[in-house]
Amino acid sequence: MSGDRAIVLGGGVNGLVAAIRLARGGRKVVLFEAREVLGGLAAGDEFAPGFRHTGILHDASCFAPELAEELGLASHGLALVPRDDVLSPEAGGRGLVLSADADRTAQELAAHSPEDVARYREYRAFLDRIAPIARRLLSSPLPDPAGTDLGSLARLAKDGLAVRRLGRDTMFELLRLGPMCVADWLKEWFRSERLGCLLAGPALDFGFAGPWSPATNALLVRHEILSGLVPRGGPAALVRALEASARAAGVDIRTGAPVAGIIAAAGAARGVRLASGEEEPASVVLSTLDPKTTFLTLLPAGTLDPALVHRLEAYRSNGMTAKVHLAVAGTIEFASRPGERIRRARTGDSFDAVERQFDSAKYRQISPRPVLDVCVPSVESPELAPEGDSVVSVLVHWAPRDRAEGWSDGARDQLGNLVLAALAEHLPELPAAVREIDVLTPADLETRFGLAGGHLLQGEHGLDQLAARPTPELARHVTPIRGLLLGGDGAWPGGGLTGWPGALAASAVS
């Protein structure tokens, strides 16, 4: 019988969260994951003999602590700790470190840009004021502005009143900041562009946007609101705890089980067909795969309205980010901070310089001096590498999936060399110490993880694709196919290992 049976597609963070919520709600849940391991973009893996990374997405600071508590992840070994200090390295100087410790950040700024010390405290205070309402919005189903039932009207009224209670100045600042480019807003706050670039980095991650692009400021604020504690051991540790919680809840987890199609009849989901040919019945199919794969590949042709198909085809999901893993002999020491064990660093010291690197992507070319988000996970977890050695994990912006010349082996080597050259400016001894380099282009990521377009957030985070994600008809997780729900990063409230898309989709199951 399929009446109380639910199938979850995808074993990443969202899929595991959704499966646990459904199982705890009384459903018999089967989770299908195409790869042999769970975790998706958060899965750790060995990329060279004796060297492991902790996930393609190495920042799990946005995973919701509320979900960690609800799902009992602490009892399955998850420990949440303050997020990493992040270094902006400077050739010939000390650079700047931003810390979760406000006093350390103030000390850093006092040496780097004294006039920004007080402004940074004011900046954090502003974010603290808007955080409660912003968190409630980002952890709740998207409001239905056309809803006429009492629940919808009450929700809109409550949110509007909460904004009004912020006070005149904070309310107007909140209303104006969304459409702004992140560079303009941060230049209003701070004198130091190095500080601004360090703060702006997460707003530009993975997207087709530079610091002078409109609406990037909304993405900065979104990240600041969601970002908090991080799992000790990185994203892979989060996946291990989620898997243990799912198994404890009775979820039937099947890895190495790619799905070839979603079975639909009479306007309703009836189950899935595996690549092996088996059919698995269910009254609920919750997909955490990307929207294009879910609706344009897995659903039978002719199932959806042609207008919706057209909107899905136009959904922007061209990947802009590559991933490079380095197996390194010895330990890592940034020239800016001799003697310090730095785990996270971001390059970029002026908005115009970062924008020039984005310019290349506009012409479907690799950035010649790519902006890098660097993680050295072996600082915290030395077991990831042979004794005394290191793992360096680098997200590389901007490396377009639709590169004009395509992605050949030569292009992959070119990208790896560009990354090594950029790192050598701040880690001069690194190139000679690299034992092995693993370069994953957006095309590689598309193939390995089943991401249409190779986008690491399952689609652009432009305001139009965030507020109505992926389309207006699908923005509240339910779909025109009864029993088929969307709960991956391509659904509200977007990507970044938050867990909320999967959780909200599970809660939308009737």
Q: Report the alpha-carbon distance of residue 60 to residue 372 in Å, rounded.
A: 17
Do the Cβ atoms of 284 and 7 come closer than 8 Å? yes
Write the secondary structure of 175-203 as one string of H (helix), E (strand) and C (coil).
Answer: HHHCCCCHHHHHHHHCCCHHHHHHHHHHH
Q: Per the CATH hierarchy, to which homologous superfamily does domain 5-39+232-315+458-507 belong?
A: FAD/NAD(P)-binding domain (3.50.50.60)
Helix (H, G, I), strand (E, B) or coil at 68: helix
What predicted TM-score, i.e. pTM, was given to this entire model? Answer: 0.95
Q: Report the alpha-carbon distance of residue 211 to residue 191 in Å, rounded.
A: 16
What lies within 8 Å, CB to CB, of 47 at 6+ separation is 53, 325, 327, 436, 438
- Strand (E) or helix (H) holding 486: strand 484-486
pLDDT tens for the chain, residues 1 to 510: 466 999 999 999 999 999 999 999 999 999 999 999 999 999 999 999 999 999 999 999 999 999 999 999 999 999 999 999 999 999 999 999 999 998 999 999 999 999 999 999 999 999 999 999 999 999 999 877 666 566 666 766 776 676 677 777 777 788 898 899 999 999 999 999 999 999 999 999 999 999 999 999 999 999 999 999 999 999 999 999 999 999 999 999 999 999 999 999 999 999 999 999 999 999 999 999 999 999 999 999 999 999 999 999 999 999 999 999 999 999 999 999 999 999 999 999 999 999 999 999 999 999 899 999 999 999 999 999 999 999 999 999 999 999 999 999 999 999 999 999 999 999 999 999 999 999 999 999 999 999 999 999 999 999 999 989 999 999 999 999 999 999 999 999 999 999 999 999 999 997
Q: Where in the chain is the domain with CATH 3.50.50.60?
A: 5-39+232-315+458-507
- How many CB atoms neighbour CB 188 within 10 A? 12
Do the Cβ atoms of 31 and 15 come closer than 8 Å? yes
Q: Report the alpha-carbon distance of residue 497 to residue 458 in Å, rounded.
A: 12
Distances from the Cα of 400 to the Cα of 357, 362, 403, angstroms: 12, 9, 5
How high is the pLDDT of residue 1?
46
In which region does residue 348 sit, left (phi positive, over 0), alpha (psi from -120 to 50) or beta (all else)? left
Residue type, 13: V
Q: Report the alpha-carbon distance of residue 216 to residue 200 in Å, rounded.
A: 9
How high is the pLDDT of residue 145?
60
How high is the pLDDT of residue 174?
80
